[in-house]
Structure 1
Amino acid sequence: MVTIYDIAQRSGVSAMTVSRVINNTGRISDKTRAKVKKVMEEMHYVPNQMARSLVLQHTRLLFLLIADITNPFYTTLSRGAEDAATKNGYKLLFGNSDENLEKESDYIHTILTTRVDGVMMAPTGDPSLPNLESLLQHQTPFVLIDREVPGVECDIVLGDSKEGARQLVDHLVEQGHTRIMMVNGSLSSSSARLRLQGYREALQLNGLKYEPEYLFETSFGPQNDLSAMNAWIDSINPLPTAIIAGNNVIAIELIRLLQQRGLRIPDDISIVCFDDFGPYADINPFMTVVAQQAYQFGYLGMQMLIDRIQSGSASGPWRKVVLPAELIVRSSVKQL
């Protein structure tokens, strides 16, 4: 393996000079810099990035930790994050917690030992507090996306979950629906709490009563066991005419469950949900959704992280961006 000492010997300069050329530090003449770079190319030298990070105190590496790789929302968000990182000269490492706190904790340990310059993450929920405190303790800059965690002050990008839920309820009521159920994510997640709040407020504003039995709490991620949801639907009599799903993954699980019961969407029951179905949703549009600006989540969040890193400030003022959602009406709702 070629070392900086090999480069120095062939170039006729010191190893320190080679190091300064690699790290773009110190005062070196253009002639010497060009000569060293030419030798590096001739010898196919690849700089040791870990060694460079020890010298420069940064790695130009960032980490993106999302909650569910199967959700098209996070796929599009990741694209935005990568574009922002690349534009600013950073490389992006990636992790997926699967809405699992233990897995998230393992990734936080990896992040701290990898010496990345900063982290952008969608926390699993309120129990993520110790993981975020670890990042704070090690002075690792981070930005939260999609969900906030009580007790943590930081830069954050959120969607307007409460207003999105209101839009979905209003649309269903406009189509004649009055029995509206909600299948939501875990209320340990701030986004789930806000969606429930918007659902309840919209019912009240439309003169409808909130029925606790019309709410089912599950995970935002894929379900391995739908028996609890199945039993809940069995317990509802009469069935609602419409269901709001807390996100697109829940909507897919619901449709599968209802189809197994012989129910047709939207002829027998209508379904709407949060989040669209990725860049190809318009090929065969079906689901009425409140679409969040997934790409902007990733791009803005990553840009905020890079700004925080480059400013060198580990304290506020903190920035909070709330992105509006858009109601997209398709064909999953029956007009009564």
Structure 2
Amino acid sequence: MVTIYDIAAKAGVSAMTVSRVINNTGKISDKTRTKVRRVMEELNYVPNHMARSLVLQQSNLLFLLITDITNPFYTTLARGAEDAAKKHGYRLLFGNSDENVEKEKDYVDTILATRADGVLVAPAGDPSLPHLETLRKHRVPFVLLDREVPGMDSDVVLGDSKEGARKLVDHLSAQGHRRIALINGSPYISSARLRLEGYKEALKLNDLVYDENYVLETAFEPRSDLSEIESWLDRMKPLPSAIVAGNNVLAVEVIRTLHGRGIQVPQQMSLVCFDDLGPYSEIDPFLTVIAQQAYQFGYLGMQMLVERIQQRGESGLPWKKIVLPADMIIRRSVAAISAPK
């Protein structure tokens, strides 16, 4: 392994000078700096960032822990986070919890082991509280994304889930739909709870009846087994004329299930959802959606995290909460009806 002493010997300078070039500290002439860097390249020197972090108490590493990297919402969010991290001179590591609190705990252990300077985290749900408490105990700054966790005050970037759900139901009602169902995430996820609240409020405001059989609370993650959705459809008597999906993953699962039964969208069943489908929407703009500002979630969250890291040691600073408005994009997945189907 090449060391700073090897570089110093070949460049004809002291090890301290090499250290200053690596850490960009001290007064060194441009000529000397250029010579040292040329030798570093010739010897393929890779700085030992872990050792450096132990000395400086700073790793220049940040961590992004999300729940489903295959979801276009989180993919775009990750891009925003990475762009902001790079702008501030940080490298970004990624973790994917798959909505699993045990996997999330393993990643928290990894975050502590790598001595990351801070974390952007979309928590798996309310049971994530002990993991966040662990980060706080070890004085690791973090910012929550998309979801809040009861009992934990922190900086957070959210979408307006409640208002988004109201907009979707209002749109369906305006197209003549009277039986509107909801397939949603777990009640242990704050954004899912808010979407259910918005759904219920919109039904009431549009003089529509709430029926608990028309609501399925399940996981936001993809699945190969559609039996849970199949059973839900069987319980609804009569079938709804429209379905609101709590995210784009669930919307795709509903379409798969309906197609398996020979039910066409929107001719026989209308469908709307939260979050767009990324590049797929450009290829075939089909689903009417509440499009959240995914890139801004990541970018603004990272900006807040860097600010919190820079303010570390300052007590009493207020927590910040950003709620990003969401826009409804109307496409072809809703059919207008004049009477209940």
Provide TM-score, normalisation by structure 2.
Answer: 0.94
Q: Does 1:218 align with 2:218?
A: yes
Deviation at 1:165, TM superposition (A): 0.2
Tell which deviates more after alignment, 20-29 or 68-77: 20-29
Q: Does 1:77 align with 2:77?
A: yes
User: 2:328 aligns to what SS in structure 1?
Assistant: strand
In structure 2, C-alpha distance between the alignment counterparts of 1:298 and 1:314, rounded to whole Å: 24
User: 2:279 aligns to what SS in structure 1?
Assistant: coil
* Structure 2: gaps spanning 5 or more residues: none
- Contact kept? 1:141, 1:314, Cα under 8 Å: no
- Contact kept? 1:275, 1:292, Cα under 8 Å: yes
In structure 1, C-alpha distance between the alignment counterparts of 2:314 and 2:67, rounded to whole Å: 25
Tell which deviates more after alignment, 265-274 or 39-48: 39-48
Deviation at 1:280, TM superposition (A): 4.0
Deviation at 1:312, TM superposition (A): 2.2
Deviation at 1:293, TM superposition (A): 0.5
User: 2:265 aligns to what SS in structure 1?
Assistant: coil
The aligned counterpart of 1:134 is 134
Matches within 5 A, 1:20-169: 20-28=20-28, 32-169=32-169
The aligned counterpart of 1:333 is 334
In structure 1, C-alpha distance between the alignment counterparts of 2:329 and 2:321, rounded to whole Å: 26
The aligned counterpart of 2:295 is 295
Identity of aligned residues (%): 68
- Contact kept? 1:23, 1:56, Cα under 8 Å: no
- Contact kept? 1:61, 1:117, Cα under 8 Å: yes
Counterpart amino acid of residue 151 in structure 1: G
Deviation at 1:34, TM superposition (A): 4.7
Distance 1:314 1:201, change over 3 A: farther
Distance 1:38 1:263, change over 3 A: closer
> Cα deviations across residues 293-326 of structure 1 (Å, max 9, x unaligned)?
0111111111111111122247531111000011
The aligned counterpart of 2:18 is 18
Counterpart amino acid of residue 56 in structure 1: L
Tell which deviates more after alignment, 275-284 or 21-30: 21-30
Distance 1:272 1:80, change over 3 A: same
The aligned counterpart of 2:196 is 196
Deviation at 1:272, TM superposition (A): 0.5
In structure 1, C-alpha distance between the alignment counterparts of 2:128 and 2:165, rounded to whole Å: 25
> Cα deviations across residues 85-115 of structure 1 (Å, max 9, x unaligned)?
1111111111111111111111111111011
The aligned counterpart of 2:253 is 253
Deviation at 1:33, TM superposition (A): 4.1
User: 1:204 aligns to what SS in structure 2?
Assistant: helix
In structure 2, C-alpha distance between the alignment counterparts of 1:93 and 1:116, rounded to whole Å: 9
> Cα deviations across residues 27-78 of structure 1 (Å, max 9, x unaligned)?
5455654554444344443322222222222111111111112211111111
Distance 1:252 1:26, change over 3 A: same
Matches within 5 A, 1:291-330: 291-313=291-313, 316-330=317-331
* Structure 1: gaps spanning 5 or more residues: none
Counterpart amino acid of residue 251 in structure 2: A
Provide TM-score, normalisation by structure 1.
Answer: 0.95
Counterpart amino acid of residue 320 in structure 2: R
- Contact kept? 1:308, 1:314, Cα under 8 Å: no
Counterpart amino acid of residue 324 in structure 1: P
Deviation at 1:181, TM superposition (A): 0.5
In structure 2, C-alpha distance between the alignment counterparts of 1:314 and 1:215, rounded to whole Å: 46
Root-mean-square deviation (CA, aligned residues, Å) is 1.6
Tell which deviates more after alignment, 278-287 or 81-90: 278-287
- Contact kept? 1:139, 1:314, Cα under 8 Å: no
In structure 2, C-alpha distance between the alignment counterparts of 1:34 and 1:265, rounded to whole Å: 63
In structure 1, C-alpha distance between the alignment counterparts of 2:106 and 2:231, rounded to whole Å: 34
Counterpart amino acid of residue 321 in structure 1: I
In structure 1, C-alpha distance between the alignment counterparts of 2:109 and 2:219, rounded to whole Å: 24
The aligned counterpart of 1:179 is 179
Distance 1:267 1:39, change over 3 A: closer
Distance 1:236 1:40, change over 3 A: closer
User: 2:282 aligns to what SS in structure 1?
Assistant: coil
Deviation at 1:238, TM superposition (A): 0.7
Runs of 4+ in 1 over 6 A off after TM superposition: none
Counterpart amino acid of residue 331 in structure 1: R
In structure 1, C-alpha distance between the alignment counterparts of 2:32 and 2:183, rounded to whole Å: 66
